[in-house]
Structure 1
């Protein structure tokens, strides 16, 4: 893949967008430490960024199927680039200005996701897509590990304003570096339809693939319940049970390391029942909330998060690859936008609901329900026809 110039450019742009996405919250966190932004202001800015992301994803899916995927990547990256100087200017002056600019940045971030997914199918040949998706996931996981420390290190030598312009530079790379793809072009009747009608065509295309609906339900359940519960409860358990934040840092690092290992493995691994293997791997995330239920040794908690990260990555790469292979090319961006809208879009809702649920019922029953959900829902998804291979053509084993 590294000898393919088109993929290298696509990988560079995707990595830059991922690094910019992860860096912004940490840069704004440094602004809180420096007294330029209050904790409430930080919450407002990050919340409006999420709103912008969710609002832009379905629109971008339609636009990326209607027009050039490369063009959508360009304009979404430029949109996020332009928002960063506005955030820098508003820092210490106006939280409202920062919030509006953050919503624009979130829209750019959300718009590029389905476009990048569809552009990958145009740039990379089918036989190499699993390796390409694994390489992209690998860069995302490395970014997860590197971005916090790198941002903190740079913050010791540079002002927050300079770092925000650095984030803008990353978005500019994401906008201009990716190559053009082999556009399939929308059908004439699709081009004449309205936005809602075109998006609903994407929904109908998704429904044509039972494995996709089942996998999306499993992924959404994991993010809304398992991921949200573990992210809310893990800091409390680290503080109250173990009396140190080291367990929190080690567990989150272990999750990223597990995902890195998973990305390396799945670049070459081709299980015969790829869909079942992916769904069972996704179910491994249940070990994350499960380990928080019991007073285990801290090493066991870290190990559970390593397994969770490994499982999620062994699901993600086959999932993206199957979507790029099975979905009609002229509807791929819309189906991908539905994926991001439901899975990542509902994650903030899960985070918002988990804390009140713990307050009302206690952490133990909430964690138990979330763990059971993580284990059971992906296994039930394996019962859906076509889920065995993530393909619309059932095998004899189905």
Structure 2
């Protein structure tokens, strides 16, 4: 006999929270708890070893350079091989690199070249992980609830980042950066074990292609044929670069000299995480019709943290600014993921994501490497004001692209629920009308005849 409580328990579980989605969310929580603290720990490990702002920038560059170099290959590989295997292998590499980093810092034997080499290995792992993870997440949800699922995923991920940043900053101050790096290594091992149980049977086998270069050319055609896509990727090549310089290099230095050390800086990053939580919560309820317009407008506030560091504001003021920018960036993040999910074919998701990541991070190694010299030439305050100005200018330019202003959420009414995926429970009422995204190639008129 069925227990009366059983249907109630099933009803409380959202239809889009299937097995893969749950595993991906759990693994993301674990890795973000470790990674946000490790970013703080790596910067202060360099400073404690006798390094300066230029050395912090070199270690940050070493982490991002291989990320840029291998992203496109990682995207092509993730669309050829089972994505969960690519993710697990990348997590294993991150586990090893962070574990050795921790041992060297704890033993007092860490040298600048050690930290650069190990950071480079970690960046290589991320280059293969990011496109595979994004493609896997987008293939794990379907239907009208996709944007809500993405918002919930990001809320869980950012919530873990909030805790990780606050805890990481406190632990660096109390026990030192080495132990925080060790915790991050363990987090990669646990997350990799969770991702090993992902089910990819619902993803159709890839047709044999013409090789890696052919796959990359096909992904390039997907990107260059969509003005909204390549323009925002170009925008973020500047935005990510200047934010990376401000937060990876200047932020720890300002914290060390004006705010009292790693603790207040960790709290500022935690405030950013709290803002992303609120932003994700808002985006779970709000579904703006012009997704990219709303998302792009949300980028302007990301100039505020650089300005706050330039002043510099006291720790409380910096935390407030970081909170507001966290709300804003999450509005963009959910809008962007929903747009990619709506517009890009499933079998090309990882390659398009790789070009997205590549463009967005292409200038990051250069910006972090030049942050120290720029401070010496222009002064830290001037360099930070320049970061804020660049964000405002490139975001304003993107608004000139018609597709960014006019691309809309495309839906239609159907009489049955979306196709069930393995491990994904059916909607509570399979016969109720449900709004689902139209195929990306469906000819739907948009304001201003935004035709692609």
The interval holding the TM-score normalised by the smaller chain is 0.7 to 0.9
- Structure 2 equivalent of residue 395 of structure 1: 446
Pairing 1:50-65 to 2, within 5 Å after superposition: 50-65=64-79
**What SS does the corresponding residue of 1:388 show, helix, strand or coil?**
helix
- Structure 2 equivalent of residue 176 of structure 1: 196
- Structure 2 equivalent of residue 22 of structure 1: 36
CA deviations over 1:133-152 (Å, ceiling 9, x no partner): 22222233222222245456
**What SS does the corresponding residue of 1:259 show, helix, strand or coil?**
helix
- Structure 2 equivalent of residue 137 of structure 1: 154
Q: Residues 99 and 182 of structure 2 are in contact (CA less than 8 Å); yes or no, is this contact kept in structure 1?
A: no
* Shift of residue 318, structure 1, vs aligned partner: 1.1
* Shift of residue 249, structure 1, vs aligned partner: 4.8
2:329 paired residue among 312, 336, 350: 312
Pairing 1:196-235 to 2, within 5 Å after superposition: 196-229=213-246, 232-235=249-252
Q: Residues 58 and 368 of structure 2 are in contact (CA less than 8 Å); yes or no, is this contact kept in structure 1?
A: no
Q: Residues 184 and 329 of structure 1 are in contact (CA less than 8 Å); yes or no, is this contact kept in structure 2?
A: no
* Shift of residue 43, structure 1, vs aligned partner: 7.8
Q: CA RMSD in A?
A: 3.7
**What SS does the corresponding residue of 1:229 show, helix, strand or coil?**
helix
1:167 paired residue among 149, 163, 187: 187
Pairing 1:147-296 to 2, within 5 Å after superposition: 147-151=164-168, 160=179, 163=183, 166-180=186-200, 182-188=202-208, 191-193=209-211, 195-229=212-246, 232-235=249-252, 244-245=260-261, 248-294=265-311
Q: Residues 60 and 365 of structure 2 are in contact (CA less than 8 Å); yes or no, is this contact kept in structure 1?
A: no
**What SS does the corresponding residue of 2:405 show, helix, strand or coil?**
coil
**What SS does the corresponding residue of 1:267 show, helix, strand or coil?**
helix
1:11 pairs with 2:25: yes
Cα separation, 1, equivalents of 2:310 and 2:100: 44
* Shift of residue 69, structure 1, vs aligned partner: 1.8
Cα separation, 2, equivalents of 1:388 and 1:344: 24
CA deviations over 1:246-301 (Å, ceiling 9, x no partner): 76455433322222211111122111221111000011112223344557676544
Cα separation, 2, equivalents of 1:32 and 1:362: 21
Pairing 1:331-350 to 2, within 5 Å after superposition: 331-350=348-367
> Which 10-residue stretch deviates more, 299-308 or 289-298?
289-298
1:146 paired residue among 150, 157, 163: 163
CA deviations over 1:56-77 (Å, ceiling 9, x no partner): 3222100111222223223323
* Shift of residue 314, structure 1, vs aligned partner: 0.8
Q: Number of residue pairs matched?
A: 392
- Structure 2 equivalent of residue 76 of structure 1: 90
Cα separation, 2, equivalents of 1:320 and 1:336: 10
> Which 10-residue stretch deviates more, 1-10 or 332-341?
1-10
- Structure 2 equivalent of residue 67 of structure 1: 81
Pairing 1:332-371 to 2, within 5 Å after superposition: 332-371=349-388
More helix by share: 1
With structure 1 as the length reference, what TM-score do the two structures score? 0.82
CA deviations over 1:207-241 (Å, ceiling 9, x no partner): 1111111211222222212452365444555566x
Cα separation, 2, equivalents of 1:84 and 1:236: 23
Q: Residues 305 and 325 of structure 2 are in contact (CA less than 8 Å); yes or no, is this contact kept in structure 1?
A: yes
> Which 10-residue stretch deviates more, 343-352 or 272-281?
343-352
**What SS does the corresponding residue of 1:192 show, helix, strand or coil?**
coil
- Structure 2 equivalent of residue 119 of structure 1: 136
Cα separation, 2, equivalents of 1:361 and 1:54: 27
> Which 10-residue stretch deviates more, 81-90 or 14-23?
81-90
Cα separation, 2, equivalents of 1:140 and 1:316: 12
Cα separation, 1, equivalents of 2:268 and 2:99: 35
Larger Rg belongs to: 2
1:374 paired residue among 358, 372, 391: 391
Q: Residues 42 and 177 of structure 2 are in contact (CA less than 8 Å); yes or no, is this contact kept in structure 1?
A: no
| Cα pair distance change 1:105/1:178, threshold 3 Å | farther
Cα separation, 1, equivalents of 2:200 and 2:338: 20
Q: Residues 117 and 336 of structure 1 are in contact (CA less than 8 Å); yes or no, is this contact kept in structure 2?
A: yes
CA deviations over 1:300-342 (Å, ceiling 9, x no partner): 4433322222111111111122112211222211111111122
